[in-house]
Amino acid sequence: MGDEVILNIALTSLCWPGSLGYSNILLPTSCTVGQDVMAFAAGIAPQTSKINLLVAIRCGEIHPPMLARTLASVDHMLQGRLTINIINSDLPGYREDATFRYQYCSETIEMLKQAWTQDRISHKGILYEFDMPADPAKPYQQNGGPLLYFGGTSEGARDVCARYCDMFLMWPETEEMLYDNIQDVNARAGAYARKVDFGLRVHVIVRATEAAARAYAKKLMSKFDPVKGLEIKSRAQDSWSLG
């Protein structure tokens, strides 16, 4: 495809994946799941030694300077193994204008970067205005802070990723569609004098042979109930999105 696509695999269980060669594991966030993702990341930190944790955060849930401090604290607990998946969907129970959501997403990321790399958080935007010391929010990673991952199909999502983030996450699509997405986000990032890497969200069934993996995939799908699946999906999604 001409561009390196980094596969970040969302595992469904903590089977000590670091010892199996995986480098990063997604910790998703959803109101219906129940557990707080950052509290869970902090709790699991001393039980891991190699694996990076890709912690999903939804902009707007936490006061931005406090969010920067909390993420920096988790990064210290993980000794630099924190990566962040920026989520820009509606807050649970709310439905907000997409332009508004991308505005506070952009301003939040700007303040995170200031908190991690500058002496002060000095921000004057449309939604937030701060001028305060950044010392309490310094992360373990001193080269700009944790990497930021972002995914989305809309124009606003692609622009936010191109302007601020390090990794654009995509879903399984045709090779042509994936190539077009890479070209589009590359061009957007280039307009900001930036470069973005790419990741593909996939679920992997691993067995000793391809035939065994295909057989188990068929077994799983034989139990699939589309009505129940839609019910679970609707319950887990906090808002409708273009993707």
For residue 15, is pLDDT > 50? no
Give backbone dihedrals phi and psi of 172, rounded to 5 degrees, phi first: -60, 120
Give the CATH H-level superfamily of domain 5-236: Luciferase-like domain (3.20.20.30)
Across residues 12-29, what is the average pLDDT? Answer: 65
pLDDT of residue 68: 94
For residue 11, is pLDDT > 50? no
Across residues 145-162, what is the average pLDDT? Answer: 91
Q: Which residues pair with 50 in a beta bridge?
A: none
Residue 11 vs residue 106, higher pLDDT:
106
For residue 55, is pLDDT > 80? yes
d(CA 14, CA 12): 7
Q: What is the mean pLDDT of the chain?
A: 83
pLDDT tens-digit profile of 166-219? Answer: 999 998 888 999 999 999 999 999 999 999 999 988 888 999 999 999 999 999
For residue 85, is pLDDT > 90? yes
Residue 58: band (very low, low, confident or very high) from pLDDT cuts 50, 70, 90: confident
Residue 1: band (very low, low, confident or very high) from pLDDT cuts 50, 70, 90: very low
pLDDT of residue 7: 39
pLDDT of residue 3: 40
Residue 1 vs residue 41, higher pLDDT:
41
Across residues 43-50, what is the average pLDDT? Answer: 90
- Residue 240's contacts (CB-CB under 8 Å, 6 or more residues apart) are none
Residue 75: band (very low, low, confident or very high) from pLDDT cuts 50, 70, 90: very high
pLDDT tens-digit profile of 104-118? Answer: 899 999 999 999 999
Q: Which two tokens stand for residue 163?
A: 């302007």
pLDDT of residue 31: 61
pLDDT tens-digit profile of 164-175? Answer: 999 999 988 889
Give the range among 7-11, 26-30, 166-170, 223-227 with minimum mean pLDDT: 7-11
Which parts of 88-231 are beta strand (E)?
120-124, 129-133, 148-151, 167-170, 197-202
d(CA 140, CA 152): 28
Sheet of strand 52-58, all strands in order from the earlier edge strand to the far edge: 5-9, 197-202, 167-170, 148-151, 82-87, 52-58, 24-27
d(CA 6, CA 169): 9
* Positive/negative CA dihedral, 174, 175, 178, 180: negative
Q: Where are the domains of the chain?
A: 5-236
